[in-house]
Amino acid sequence: MASEKKIALVTGANRGIGLETARQLGHKHVTVIVAARTLKSAEETATKLKAEGIDVFPLKLDVTNAHDREAAAKTVGDKFGKLDILINNAGVGAQDGTLVNKTIHTTEEELQKVFGTNLFSVVAVTRAFLPLLKKSEAGRIVNLSSILGSLGLHANPNSPIASVKTFAYDASKAALNAFTIHLAAELKDTKIKVNSAHPGWVKTDMGGDQAPMELPEGAKTSVDLALLGPEGPNGRFIHLGQELPW
């Protein structure tokens, strides 16, 4: 059944930045579909957010699973009839969790796993939900990237990320940024906007306790891009309102 209220889907919404993004959108009166790899995790997240007065719907969606993607798109279509916001938040970091430069020694297994989640699954999820986004009056797609995907900054020896060369992760986010640029160009004659978000270095399981940013600030970029007005940016790489170099 179609709804006048904005409908947002957040992948990987059961923890970290995804959960906080869902929370902030919910408090802005958006109906939030919280997607997680298991229905149990999605339902537990929904229960938590409902206790805060948020209109929320749990959804099983392992982004790497083709059957899950197809079933999830059908469920959302049957229940809501459209999708206004897709936040491709689910992602994985370096396989060993370190920031050691091991470019030439990066295993094929790590490349396949990281690209499989951070790029291939994002493309596939977006493809599955694009027909519903096209039914929105102002569709928004937000791809969770990272400043570590900036080729310009990596190539500058004086940049703040110059010493952080985690090849599989960095390359997957650079490729994700390319997807943002290409999809935004393909959809330029529609009402859909596509942007990459750098949340910042945030205290999460991936970011670690030493990260300087707390979750509420880390989710802010995604939320702002999800709720962009018609004059907002399209096909850009954004952090807290500022454009980053590709």
Of 179, 174, 168, residue with least CA distance to 125: 179
Task: Kindly report, residue by residue over 42-56, the tens digit of the pLDDT.
Answer: 999 999 999 999 999
Residues 19-25, mean pLDDT to the nearest whole number: 98
Task: Kindly report, residue by residue over 1-10, the tens digit of the pLDDT.
Answer: 444 899 999 9
Q: Is the pLDDT of residue 212 over 60?
A: no
Listed range (45-59, 68-82, 193-207) with the worst mean pLDDT: 193-207
1 found inside a domain = no
Of 173, 176, 222, 180, residue with least CA distance to 199: 222
Q: Is the pLDDT of residue 148 over 80?
A: yes
Residues 151-171, mean pLDDT to the nearest whole number: 95
| Active-site annotation holder among 173, 193, 203, 220 | 173
Residues 232-244, mean pLDDT to the nearest whole number: 97
135 found inside a domain = yes
148 found inside a domain = yes
- 162 vs 26: CA distance, rounded Å: 37
Q: What is the band of 178 on the pLDDT scale with cuts at 50, 70, 90?
A: very high
For residue 147, give Cα distances in angstroms to 21, 201, 243. 19, 9, 11
Q: Which domain holds residue 218?
A: 7-243
Of 54, 73, 23, residue with least CA distance to 223: 23
128 found inside a domain = yes
The total of structural domains in the chain comes to 1
173 given a catalytic annotation:
yes
What CATH number did the domain enclosing 13 receive?
3.40.50.720
2 found inside a domain = no
3-state secondary structure the chain: CCCCCCEEEECCCCCHHHHHHHHHHHHCCCEEEEEECCHHHHHHHHHHHHCCCCCEEEEECCCCCHHHHHHHHHHHHHHHCCCCEEEECCCCCCCCCCCCCCHHHCCHHHHHHHHHHHHHHHHHHHHHHHHHHCCCCCCEEEEECCHHHCHHHHHCCCCCCCCCCCHHHHHHHHHHHHHHHHHHHHCCCCCCEEEEECCCCECCCCCCCCCCECHHHHHHHHHHHHCCCCCCCCCCEEECCEECCC
158 found inside a domain = yes
For residue 163, give Cα distances in angstroms to 94, 105, 175. 15, 17, 20
For residue 36, give Cα distances in angstroms to 31, 88, 172, 225, 246. 16, 12, 21, 21, 29
147 found inside a domain = yes
| Active-site annotation holder among 60, 169, 193, 220 | 169
169 given a catalytic annotation:
yes
Distance of CA 53 to the CA centre of its chain: 24
157 found inside a domain = yes
* pTM score: 0.94
